[in-house]
């Protein structure tokens, strides 16, 4: 960093002490950042190849209205996703309102009354508790007669293969694997680990369908869960694959058999994928997907920087500063509600939009505990943009993610530290 940037950071409100500590930490991260750029290079080429192969052209970028019959932009985009994920088919739509909706669609389309859903990786993401019926809700899978079983991870984070084998029974129809840690302190799984688990459950019961919740994992590695046997790979377009430009949406990439059912569930039986006007979103879904590999790389650099910075100050970080990354989430156990509030205030203060507001904890539909969320994003609630959140419960961990550019991610992390410093919660 040069002297002029130091000065500009000071104008933004980041003290020289904080900036200097950041520079100190960065010195050791050059090699890691190079590896991340190499992954981005590969994934950029993969996306480009899919767009060229499917002859994306100017007409694809415009949308349709009404029924949306013959929406070539929409249909081609779904084929681009299918090619990038190496699947037979994909469903990519603004009508999938968020990641939870995409996951709920994939589950309810492929589970029938009497079937059982198995999670071999412990408790799923908070918002899925009501989808499944772990917390009672109208229209949950439980209410529809789909039972649920869960096998927790072992204490060291490993899969409990014996327990998983015993849990698979005549009713087991679908296995759900969450790649990212979500709001937990467990490790995120690599694509290779997910592949081993898929091979295992399919060896116990051939014909099982496996769905992977891929939220936050896209483009952090050179392969995706769909490359290692997942029948459905599911995520949100206001996370990685939207590249910060998609204004809404979710995707499900997988086998034709599973995806056809998802189309029927999302629209109506018999109607399926032929309807669904894309209105004005096609351009941003294409352009966002095109940018996504480099945006994911920026977010990864931010996460690694945050881990190394906060570890140096003695905080427990998952993943730690050195281990490999399989998603863009960084959790930092801050130990108190006050520290969570200060951290989030810093992320908010670094935002290009809504930088003057202060985030406060509050109840959010779908989550059991109060949640604090900091985001000053161009797309509301977008968590591929610089953001931090976390439920107010021990160990008072914030989950930090995103950053459309590495430079902005860096600024935000330094701002969070600045706020902790100002509140006297850390000493430098």
Ligand X SMILES: *Cc1c(COP(=O)(O)O)cnc(C)c1O
Q: Which residues bind ligand X (CB under 6 A)?
A: 98-100, 125, 127, 178, 180, 182, 213, 215-216, 236
Using the structure block, give the residue that is written with the tokens 């071999």: 120
92 closest CA partner among 79, 110, 108, 109: 79
| 318: DSSP letter | E
Residue 94 or residue 99: which is nearer to ligand X going by CB?
99
Task: Please state the closest distance from residue 216 (CB atom) to ligand X, in A.
Answer: 5
Please, what sign has the CA dihedral across residues 139, 258, 286, 400? positive
Residue 173 in tokens = 């129809």
125 closest CA partner among 50, 214, 249: 214
Task: Please state the closest distance from residue 202 (CB atom) to ligand X, in A.
Answer: 22
Residue 9 or residue 189: which is nearer to ligand X going by CB?
189
> What are the distances in angstroms from CA 179 to CA 66, 166, 225?
37, 22, 9
Residue 130 or residue 213: which is nearer to ligand X going by CB?
213
Task: Please state the closest distance from residue 125 (CB atom) to ligand X, in A.
Answer: 4
Residue nearest to ligand X (CB): 99
DSSP code per residue over 11-41: HHT--HHHHHHHHHHHGGGHHHHHHHHHHHH
Cβ contact 176:211 at 8 Å = yes
Residue 98 or residue 285: which is nearer to ligand X going by CB?
98
Task: Please state the closest distance from residue 127 (CB atom) to ligand X, in A.
Answer: 5
In whole angstroms, give the CA distance from residue 216 to residue 182.
9
Task: Please state the closest distance from residue 108 (CB atom) to ligand X, in A.
Answer: 15
Task: Please state the closest distance from residue 184 (CB atom) to ligand X, in A.
Answer: 10
Cβ contact 305:413 at 8 Å = yes
Residue 178 or residue 226: which is nearer to ligand X going by CB?
178
Residue 285 or residue 425: which is nearer to ligand X going by CB?
285
């Amino acid at each position: 960093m040069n002297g002029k940037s130091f000065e500009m950071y000071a104008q933004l409100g980041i003290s020289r002490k904080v900036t200097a500590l950041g520079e100190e930490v960065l010195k050791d991260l050059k090699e890691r950042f190079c590896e991340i750029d190499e992954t981005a290079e590969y994934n950029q080429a993969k996306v480009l190849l899919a767009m060229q192969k499917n002859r994306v052209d100017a007409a694809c970028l415009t949308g349709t209205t009404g029924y949306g019959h013959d929406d070539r932009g929409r249909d081609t985009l779904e084929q681009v996703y299918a090619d990038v994920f190496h699947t037979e088919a994909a469903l990519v739509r603004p009508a999938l309102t968020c990641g939870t909706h995409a996951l709920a669609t994939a589950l309810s389309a492929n589970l029938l009354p009497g079937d059982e859903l198995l999670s071999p990786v412990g408790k799923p993401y908070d918002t899925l508790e009501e989808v499944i019926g772990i917390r009672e809700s109208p229209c949950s899978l439980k209410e529809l007669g789909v039972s649920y079983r869960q096998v927790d991870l072992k204490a060291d984070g490993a899969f409990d293969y014996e327990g998983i084998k015993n849990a698979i029974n005549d009713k087991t129809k679908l296995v759900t694997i969450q790649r990212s840690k979500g709001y937990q302190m467990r490790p995120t799984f690599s694509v290779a680990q997910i592949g081993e688990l898929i091979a295992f459950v399919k060896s116990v019961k051939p014909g099982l369908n496996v769905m992977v919740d891929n939220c936050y994992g896209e483009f952090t590695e050179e392969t995706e869960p769909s490359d290692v046997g997942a029948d459905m790979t599911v995520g949100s377009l206001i996370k990685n694959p939207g590249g910060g430009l998609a204004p809404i949406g979710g995707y499900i990439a997988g086998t034709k058999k599973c995806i056809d059912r998802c189309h029927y569930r999302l629209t109506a039986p018999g109607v399926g994928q032929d309807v669904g006007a894309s209105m004005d979103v096609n351009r941003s879904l294409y352009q966002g997907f095109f940018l996504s590999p480099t945006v994911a790389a920026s977010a990864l650099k931010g996460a690694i920087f945050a881990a190394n910075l906060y570890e140096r100050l003695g905080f427990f970080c998952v993943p730690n500063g050195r281990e490999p990354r399989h998603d863009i989430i960084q959790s930092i156990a801050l130990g108190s509600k006050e520290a969570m509030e200060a951290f989030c205030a810093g992320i908010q203060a670094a935002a290009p939009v809504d930088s003057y507001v202060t985030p406060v904890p509050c109840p959010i539909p779908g989550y059991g505990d109060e949640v604090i969320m900091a985001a000053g994003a161009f797309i509301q609630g977008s968590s591929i943009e610089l953001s931090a959140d976390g439920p107010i419960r021990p160990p008072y961990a914030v989950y930090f993610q995103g950053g459309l550019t590495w430079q902005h991610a860096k600024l935000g992390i330094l701002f969070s530290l600045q706020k902790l410093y100002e509140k006297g919660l850390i000493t430098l």
